[in-house]
Chains A and B, each alone.
Chain A
Amino acid sequence: MERLASWAVSFTPVVNIDGGHALLLEIGGSLQLFGGAERMQTLLREGLRARGHEPVISCAPTARGSLWLARAGIECSLLTHDGLRHRLLPVSVEYLGWPAVTLEMLAQTGIRTLGECVRLPRQGFARRFGQARLHELDQAFGRCPELRQAHVVPVHFSDMLELPVETTSVAALLAGFRLLLSRLGERLKSAQMSTDMLCCHLRHPDGSDTQLLIRLRRPAAVATAFAELLRLRLEALVLPAPVTRLLLQARLSAGQEMTGSDLLGRELQADSGLSGLLERLRARLGGHAVRGLALADEYRPERAWHPVGDPLGSGRVVPPKARIPGRRPVWILPEPQLLRQDAGRPVHEGVLRLEQGPERIETGWWDGDDIRRDYYMARNRRGARLWIYQDLRSVADWYLHGIFA
């Protein structure tokens, strides 16, 4: 439906999806352009058939009126309110999309058609079936206006450039993309739009494509914002073959990012510097390379924290030492490391001397991943302080889990 709505935008900018099965197009402003309602219906029908749909198309002076007619399977092209009224009156109430309870009440009252509905006293109708139903009737017959949210269609930008010679040179590719980016920039400027995602295709002589997807954390209205990221990605890219053609696609969205400063200007600017940094790091090092840290409400040490994918999202500073059960090391190993033993004593670069502990951590019985460990702070021969534990569920194996210093 989204895709159809996007397609329908070529007929009119005001498109609305209703209930997942109906598309509403406000065509009043487009009739002349397309040569009248009949011609437009023909075009719509051909287009929808080509996309594998068999539509019922009703054209009427009110949105809800045309929707109800179409649901009832009545194809028509009505231009006056009188004509609409005439066609609506015999329509059965079943097609109005009203709740089953309402339909049952209507049936009990012996009301089957819209015409019978509108003959009822307005006050009485509203009291029995709800003000909203009465309002819908008014909208359908054009007695009160209906406001519908226009479907926001993702607009796409797509442009390509044939390269004069086949090349793998980053400088040449970048120069080509810069040209495409400047065209994108012009489009963004004229349409007052911004973009947060670029798809760059590099076409090889055999027709295959190498693709680069570039995302920004915030939509940008200046295409140059991408040039630097693109350069990083191109430098990191290993091309399987020379490139003959460049294709740039972008998803555009309405509105441009506010530039300049306001009362929070300083904060906004500092933050955008940081989000810009994160974008650069992620562009070169991978999407998961940068993360924040957060505590988790868990006693199992390996689960007592979790990485934060969008570290800039949380503006609030959480004071430290909030929920730390005890002294914890600054480093933790990805997996506890089994330690050798010397006469029952754990060894890691020499026999370890236990200095503090034990701290018994026994938890997790509810999810089958339970632990029973005695944690110690231990010191090795070189003076390093380690966080080790004895696994009490096994045969008293020792593990290295973290490092204090």
Chain B
Amino acid sequence: MRIDIPGVECRGSLAAGSMHVPSGFPELDAMLGGGWPGGGLTELLVEPGTAAELALLSPALGRLTCGYGGADPAWVMLIAPPWIPYAPGLCWQGLALSRVLVTDVCRAADVLWATEAALGSGSCAAVIAWAGVASRVALQRLHLLAVKRPVWSVLVRPARFRRDRSPAMMRMQLHLQPGAQDAVRAEIFRHRLRTPGTVTVVLP
């Protein structure tokens, strides 16, 4: 069976891990087995104030919003971003702004609710949410919603939650490299289908 969601590659079956969004970083794609995994929750842990995650996710978001490989342009949703996503900057990163939605959330509890709503509607090819505390049950619900649909879902959370148990399909922590130029270290410390590992990525 084939599912068609613009920009998300589907290889053969519905099984988790069979869909990928090429990340735009060859080293990372190799490590992830083709790209950011769809069909399951990705947790991205960052030190507060790091701000590197959007630059890391942007090439993949750009592909989705512009449509690539014959796919139609698809919608991407940013939920509760920590600062204002700057339209010219996103444009510079290659995103088609006409396919970008931003949802502002005042209460922390609403972030997970909005993420759940966005995943459940099945109308966005990517849902990127900045969340804080999340119960295991809440994460489980998000993960199950993501498994059922060919959507790339990323929950960005502070690194202090690394020790919490999580049902996510893939968990990654970003480390800034104070010495190296524009490089971040992406530590994949858990992946349901691949062996963990670390890869250094040079951001554009």
Binding site for B on A (CB under 8 A): 270-271, 273-274, 276-278, 280-281, 284-286, 288-295, 301, 304-307, 311, 314, 316-322, 324, 327-334, 349, 381-385, 402-405
Contacts and interface: CB of A to CB of B under 8 A. Distances in A.
Given A290-B101, A317-B67, A280 B117 contact: yes
Interface residues of B, number: 58
A274 B123 contact: yes
B32 interface: no
Contacts of A274: 75, 121, 123-124
Interface stretch (B15-23, B48-56, B138-146, B158-166): B48-56
A286 to B, nearest CB: 8
Given A305-B86, A317-B96, A285 B114 contact: yes
B177 A281 contact: no
B81 to A, nearest CB: 8
Interface of B: 47, 49-52, 54-56, 58, 62, 65-67, 73, 75, 81-106, 110, 113-114, 117-118, 121-124, 176-180, 182, 184, 203
Nearest to B86: A332
Greatest chain B CB density within 10 A among A280, A284, A330 is at A330
Greatest chain A CB density within 10 A among B73, B92, B100, B105 is at B92
Contacts of A314: 98
A334 B49 CA distance: 15
Contacts of A382: 47, 50, 176, 178
Given A284-B113, A383-B176, A333 B83 contact: yes
A285 B94 contact: no
Contacts of A293: 85, 87, 90, 97, 100, 102
Given A295-B87, A320-B96, 6 more contacts: A274-B75, A293-B90, A328-B89, A329-B86, A330-B93, A333-B84
Please give me the 6 A-B residue pairs with the lowest Cβ-Cβ distance, nearest first: A305-B87, A273-B123, A383-B176, A274-B123, A277-B121, A332-B86
A271 B86 CA distance: 25
Contacts of A405: 51-52, 54-56, 182, 184, 203
A292 B101 contact: yes
Contacts of B203: 405
Contacts of A276: 121, 123
A349 to B, nearest CB: 8
A324 B95 CA distance: 12
Contacts of B105: 285, 289
Contacts of B66: 317, 319-320
B98 A403 contact: no
B114 to A, nearest CB: 6
Nearest to B175: A383
A272 to B, nearest CB: 9
Nearest to A385: B182
22 contacts: A277-B123, A288-B104, A289-B104, A292-B101, A293-B97, A293-B102, A294-B87, A304-B87, A307-B102, A317-B96, A319-B96, A320-B66, A320-B97, A321-B91, A328-B86, A328-B92, A330-B90, A331-B83, A382-B178, A384-B49, A404-B55, A405-B56
Contact of B85 (A286, A304, A317, A331): A331
A332 B83 contact: yes
Contacts of B95: 320
Given A290-B101, A330-B54, A405-B51, A318 B121 contact: no
A294 B97 CA distance: 6
B88 A295 contact: yes
Contacts of A319: 66, 96
Given A295-B97, A405-B52, A331 B121 contact: no
B87 A331 contact: no
Contact of A292 (B91, B100, B121): B100
Contacts of B94: 320-321
A34 B99 CA distance: 57
A274 B178 CA distance: 41
Contacts of A320: 62, 66, 90-97
Given A320-B66, A330-B54, A285 B96 contact: no
Contacts of A295: 87-88, 91, 97
A324 B91 CA distance: 8
Contacts of B90: 293, 320, 330
Contacts of A329: 86, 89
